[in-house]
Structure 1
Amino acid sequence: MLIGAILILTWLVLLLRYPAKALPLSMAAVCGLGLVALWVAWQDTRETSQLARLDLRLAYAPAQCPPDRTLQVTMHNGNKAPLVELRWRVAAYAPGDTVNLAENTYNAPRYRGPGELQPGAEWKDCLPLPPLRSGYRPQTLEFRAEHLQGTFAN
């Protein structure tokens, strides 16, 4: 923090003392920072729109899955780019409620998608249920994937 304050103070002194030389340099630096900020914002919106095109459905399916992994995951990649990596958290809601009933503790399972999922491909798997708050049964809840973080190939 001290170094940042010293840099800003030095820049202001140079700008006031030598405006003919410091002003064009400052404008070039501001333009460069603006271009970097635009590129980062574009990448973020691109990633957000790609994640929105993933169709990720979760369902409690004890008949189709092993007893220790009863959460069935179905994912369809609706993008034009292959999905390289995906992570998410599972939330559980009572129908019509907005309170997350899944406990996201340190020892809760970590959810990851398939390694690489090609455009238009589908992936199915069975994963463990997250720990639920006491008094709730999984067959009465809706499960949703939240906080998606992923990367796509260029």
Structure 2
Amino acid sequence: MLIGIVLILTWLILLLRYPAKALPLSMAAVAGLGLVAAWVLWQESIEENRFARLEIQLRLDPEQCPADRPLAITLRNGTDAVLQNFAWQVQAMRPGDTINLAQASYDRPRYLGPAELQPGASWQDCLPLPPIRQGYRAQSLEFRAADLRGTFVD
């Protein structure tokens, strides 16, 4: 942080002392930073759009899944890129509500998907339930995927 303050003060001194030389360089630096920021925002929007095109369905299915993993997931890759290293958190909510009833704790499980999911492909699995706040039953809750993380490879 000290180095940053020293750099800013040096830049200000040079800008005040030699404005004819420092101003064009400063404008070029600002333009360069603007281009980098625009490129980063563009890449993030592409990634956001790809995550939005993933179809994730979570449902409690004790008949089809084992007793220790009653949460069924179906994931379909609706993008044009391969999905790798996919991970997410599970939220538990009452129908029509936005309050997450899954206990937020340090050791809360992070769910992992397939190592690689091709465009248009689907993946199904059974998952363990997240720890739910006391007083709520899993049968009365909706489950959603949140905090999606992964890599898309073209």
- Normalising by the smaller structure, the TM-score range is over 0.9
- Deviation string, structure 1 residues 31-80 (Cα, Å, up to 9, x no partner): 11011100110111111000000000101111111111111010000000
The residue number in structure 1 matching 2:102 is 102
Deviates further, 135-144 or 46-55: 135-144
Alignment of 1:14-29 (within 5 A): 14-29=14-29
Provide the aligned C-alpha RMSD in A: 1.1
Instruction: Specify the code of the residue in structure 2 equivalent to 1:79.
Output: T
- Deviant stretches of 4+, over 3 Å: none
Which structure 2 residues correspond to residues 1-154 of structure 1 after superposition, within 5 A?
Answer: 1-154=1-154
Displacement of 1:89 after TM fit? 1.0
3-state SS of paired residue (2:116): coil
Moved more, 50-59 or 102-111: 102-111
TM-score normalised according to structure 2 size: 0.95
Give me the identity figure in percent: 64
Ranges in structure 1 where 5+ consecutive residues have no aligned partner: none
Contact 1:53–1:78 (CA<8 Å) still a contact in 2? yes
TM-score by length of 1: 0.95
Quote the Cα distance in structure 2 between the aligned partners of 1:87 and 1:14.
48
Q: For structure 1, which segment, 95-104 or 119-128, has the greater mean C-alpha deviation from structure 2 after superposition? A: 95-104
Deviations for 1:99-136, whole angstroms, at most 9, x for unmatched residues?
21111212222111111100000000011100111121
Give distance in 2, aligned partners of 1:55 and 1:120.
10
Aligned pair count? 154
Deviation at 1:2, TM superposition (A): 2.1
> How far has the Cα of 1:86 moved from its partner?
1.6
Q: Secondary structure at the match of 1:9?
A: helix
